[in-house]
Amino acid sequence: MKKFHLTAGPSELYFTVEGHIQQALKENVAVISHRSKGFQDMFAFTISQVREMLNVPKDYHIVFTGSATEVWERLAQNCISKKSTHFVNGSFSQRFHAFAEDWGLETQKVEKPLGQGFSQEDYAIDADSDFIAITQNETSTGVQFPVEDIYNIREANPDKLIAIDAVSSIPYVDVDLTKVDSLYFSVQKGMGMPAGLGVWIFNDKCVERAKAVKANGRHLGGYHDIFTLLKNAEKSMTPATPNALGIYLLGKVSEDLLRREMKIVRSETEYKAGMLYAAVSAHKDLDFAVKEERLRSKTVIVIDVKENRSAKDLMEYLEEQGLVVSSGYGPNKATQVRVANFPTHSKELYFQLIDLIEAW
């Protein structure tokens, strides 16, 4: 039986990916030199599609890394001068904080328990912090950081760099990039692609920061510092031989989503999330893991299974019907399930999922 993955990442491939891989093989995408005109054209096409899909301003740069995890490392090395502020409410925001600490940087940790988010009173950023790390969508807990809250933090902190982890909310989340300095994601979640590629968007303020950090004597890395990545990207190239197939697929899937129209992609995401949350609300043995409605993620829907039932049972029951969802993360493994709601997950799939949940 074909199983459909509604897992929180990697997840089901976008339905056009297989066809694009066939085409890539025909077009020798993985064969030609990464210093050739053919590669440069392919790279430039992908950048143009990502730029249009996410409305990336012309003066913001887009480069590729091996993963979003790598971007944490690069941000810590290149863009945090002395002290960073981290909003921590789950495993992924926690990990970026740990990276900064490991690099010997001072940090301010604004922490909330799993399942909770942040509000106005949490926004007291230390004056000597020069970098604010915001996880827009905590994949481990299904808590989102509303973009309006990010903009409020921007207004109160015009001079600090703000970097947004949008790993599991792209392409749904619509961030006004002029109000942040950096945003990054990986491709195996909302983009529905095979893993192995991180996408890092940043503005010139990030580059200026790296220059200042370097002038102060810190070594920023040998091949993937912000300057080397940027210098290569300006020629539509990468510093090392890259995952060219991944870069190609990113361009093609972005093009597919643009054809479907981003406003449709977004409204379908909201529609499916609304249906699933309604089914959770109506089920006597299920509850929202995120109690505050405005903080509930639209793309990673986390469900509490009440004590009389078992999350493992729910997962096994769904898998028997061909639908694979993720377990709760870390300490919530036994009591929660996480359901991805990405563009590749059709309404029909969601109808089926909801029917099954109602009957459980």
Query: Is 81 or 203 the residue whose CB approaches its own copies more closely?
Result: 81
What are the helix (H) ranges across 169-296? 204-215, 226-233, 244-260, 262-282
Place of tokens 């809250």: 149
| Binding piece for its own copies, criterion CB under 8 A, among 23-31, 170-178, 334-342, 348-356 | 23-31
Q: Which of 47, 161, 244, 286 binds its own copies (CB under 8 A)?
A: 244
* The two three-digit tokens of residue 171, written as one number: 């392409």
Residue 202 lies near its own copies (rule: CB under 8 A) = no
Residue 104 lies near its own copies (rule: CB under 8 A) = yes
Residue partners of 170: CB distance under 8 A and separation at least 6: 54, 185, 189, 190, 191
Q: How far is the CB of 24 from its own copies (least distance, A)?
A: 9
Residue 94 lies near its own copies (rule: CB under 8 A) = no
| Binding piece for its own copies, criterion CB under 8 A, among 12-20, 43-51, 274-282, 283-291 | 12-20
Residue 272 lies near its own copies (rule: CB under 8 A) = no
Query: Is 21 or 150 the residue whose CB approaches its own copies more closely?
Result: 21
Residue 215 lies near its own copies (rule: CB under 8 A) = no
Residue 30 lies near its own copies (rule: CB under 8 A) = yes
Q: Which of 44, 103, 108, 205 binds its own copies (CB under 8 A)?
A: 103
Give whole-number Cα distances, 139 to 47, 69, 143, in Å.
25, 13, 8
Q: With contact defined as beta carbons under 8 Å apart, do 325 and 6 qualify?
A: yes
- The whole-angstrom separation of Cα 249 and Cα 153 is 35
Say whether 203 sits in a helix, a strand or coil: coil
Residue 98 lies near its own copies (rule: CB under 8 A) = yes
C-alpha radius of gyration, the chain, whole number: 20
Residue 11 lies near its own copies (rule: CB under 8 A) = yes
Site string for its own copies, 47-86 (x = CB under 8 A): ------------------xxxxxx-xx--x----------
- The whole-angstrom separation of Cα 252 and Cα 50 is 10
Q: Which of 115, 117, 142, 242 binds its own copies (CB under 8 A)?
A: 242
Give whole-number Cα distances, 37 to 33, 127, 255, in Å.
9, 47, 21
Q: φ, ψ for residue 274 (rounded to 5)?
A: -60, -45
Query: Is 44 or 98 the residue whose CB approaches its own copies more closely?
Result: 98
Query: Is 197 or 210 the residue whose CB approaches its own copies more closely?
Result: 197
- The whole-angstrom separation of Cα 186 and Cα 249 is 13
Query: Is 146 or 194 the residue whose CB approaches its own copies more closely?
Result: 194
Residue partners of 346: CB distance under 8 A and separation at least 6: none
Q: How far is the CB of 287 from its own copies (least distance, A)?
A: 24
Q: Which of 25, 156, 264, 278 binds its own copies (CB under 8 A)?
A: 25
**Cα within 13 Å of Cα(254), Cβ side:** 21
Q: CA 217, 180, 128 angle in degrees (round to 5)?
A: 50
Question: What DSSP element (H or E) covers 323?
Answer: strand 323-327
Q: Which of 9, 90, 171, 190 binds its own copies (CB under 8 A)?
A: 9
Neighbouring-strand partners of residue 305: 286
Query: Is 98 or 275 the residue whose CB approaches its own copies more closely?
Result: 98
- The residue ranges that bind its own copies (CB under 8 A) are 3, 5, 7, 9-13, 18, 21, 25, 28, 30-34, 65-70, 72-73, 76, 98-99, 102-104, 186, 188, 193-197, 219, 221-224, 239-246, 326
